[in-house]
Structure 1
Amino acid sequence: MSKPLDYKGRAAISNLAGRYEKQSTAAEDDGWGSLDAELPPLRTETIIDSSRSLLSYNKSPDIPFDRSINPYRGCEHGCIYCFARPSHAYLGYSPGLDFETKILIKPDAPALLRQELAKRNYQCAPIALGSNTDPYQPLERQQHIMRQILEVLQETRHPLTIVTKSALIERDIDLLAQMASQNLVSVGISVTTLNRDLARNLEPRAAAPQRRLSTISRLREAGIPVNVMLAPVIPGLNDHELESILSAAQAAGAQTAEYILLRLPLEVAELFQEWLHHHYPLKAAKVLNLIQETRGGKIYDAAFQQRMSGSGIYAQLLAQRFKLISKRLGLDQPHSPLRTDLFRKPDANPMQMRFDFFD
């Protein structure tokens, strides 16, 4: 019988092989209690990402941006539901525990960004940060990659959006407040639940729910636009909190709101089901049945326009509840477009001597 790899501070309970691997391994009990010993600490490993480009472009019709930056690949927050987990399979790692513990960092990201923004044919449009993995995950405290990216974007007056569930964003309020005064930035704070126990299991290394609400307040006090993101809504697990989360976020200062239905692409489906049966065995069948009800009888439907909100009666009820509470709280206002007319191209190599200094 296989034993769950239930490491403290980690969400995944297995390290299943990615879809491109030819072999997989599993710990098995030999009958002598060999798996009864307490698991040793599972430490985070940093790996240099040698990618020579930084901006990623997309043409998805249901995503409100066409370019993004991800300073990190993999995420130490370890959210079990993270739809980015399958991307680790491209690197030869597991979307399970590897995704939470083998983090690729891009220390040259600021220099790469400067080069790309300086290109003659670059056309300015808002850049999304945090669209895949959190740019303010724990490693950022030591790496400061996100901070340096912001410094380049502030220097060039380039618009950006940020999505995070980390209080570490408060470190950069000085930069963000200056950019907000020019309508160059908006921030989305993800709040999944107000239940600390559920949050600890779902998102073991992310900020606690009340801490995220405090972050919303701090950002708003600095004049930074804040959108609360109820993501993901998990039918049968946290969907009953929809009204309470939005009410708490609005009281904290959030101006707008969005929600995203749970997405379980590729390996995430198996990882989430393992987690669900391990932590909430009595709710597992109900949760999975409701998920399938919102996905046309499947565990996931990747169709554009539906993948974010689902389909069917249960999904429609969620959408109606969200619409009503958002309207009552005044969170249903449209997002103000960010300015692009202030953008100025940077020097591709700021260390190189500029002769115009001597004119």
Structure 2
Amino acid sequence: MKDVSVRTSLRRKAIALLLAIALLGVGAHLWLNTNAFGRDEACGGLVPTDSAAAVFSSSGRVSDGSGPDTRPDDRLAFTCTLESSSFLPWTDTERIRISAGRERGDFPFTDDGRWPNPAAVSFFSGGPTGAVGAVGDDHGWVFLPGACTTAGEPAIVEGYAPEGSDPVKLARLLTDVANRAAEGADCRGKEPLRAPAGLAAPAGPRPVRNGAVCGLADLEFPVPGQRTKATERMQEHIRPTWACEIAGYATYAVTQEPQIVNGIRSSPGFKEQSPVAGRRVSGFDPRHVVADCAGTPTYFSLEFGPSYNDAVGTPGTLRMQDLFDNFVESVGKRIGC
């Protein structure tokens, strides 16, 4: 009986040891390869780690290194990089770069090489408390509340995520950061901004159809002789924001989203311009303007690409301002201008 008792005791001790080792292994895995038992926020409290973790494509521990790089003269100007790292051998370290700053109100539609083409992103807005922004493949932005605008420059939160990240989760992360940044700067609205529950995926490129350029029957092609080889991509819905890119030639955009238009009209350099298609307009230059469309302020923009610029001066190539007048006239008919 004594031998049986000893063996039973040894068996129990072995089982207890194995359980302890298993628990240590699980704990080590959770600590090293997930965000369990980690901090709830990062970047000086500006980023909720659960929102950031959801954007990364694989599980890992979220950290922010030395935290945000801030500007002492502006609480809404900062940059912070988050990393998701794991000790599992088949995983790579991923990064999300979050920043906030101030931009000219029509930044989403200007071709400075920094912003995604507006025809290739998913725009979102949802009434008084719905976040206003856009998300592309790995890059997105969200406007902060209008009360955060200073010196006429709207404030935005911008984010770069790993390629292939879920755009809805990236939009949610940027909205969360925008809410925290606005609260820290004492400029939040009565209610926090709401992230979109879903996003419509932008359409892919397609050949320019003979019957209509960008779905508009009377929109002129920038270089008529090159139309048959061109491709276009555009937003499916024309309100509140619509854009169409003819690859290499031109990108057209129009928006009636109130927060975007208000940010445009308050930005430095916004002033009266020469009439466009017979309409009185104000803007930054002759092809980035706001007009009145049946009582609704409406922004129009036109950017040109290298294929058009190379064709300037050749027979048949239409003048820039003539193309813009034609665009405002054509799309204006669709939105009641």
- Say which structure is richer in helix: 1
TM over 0.5: same fold?
no
Q: Which TM bucket (shorter chain)?
A: under 0.3
Which has more radius of gyration? 2
- Say which structure is richer in strand: 2
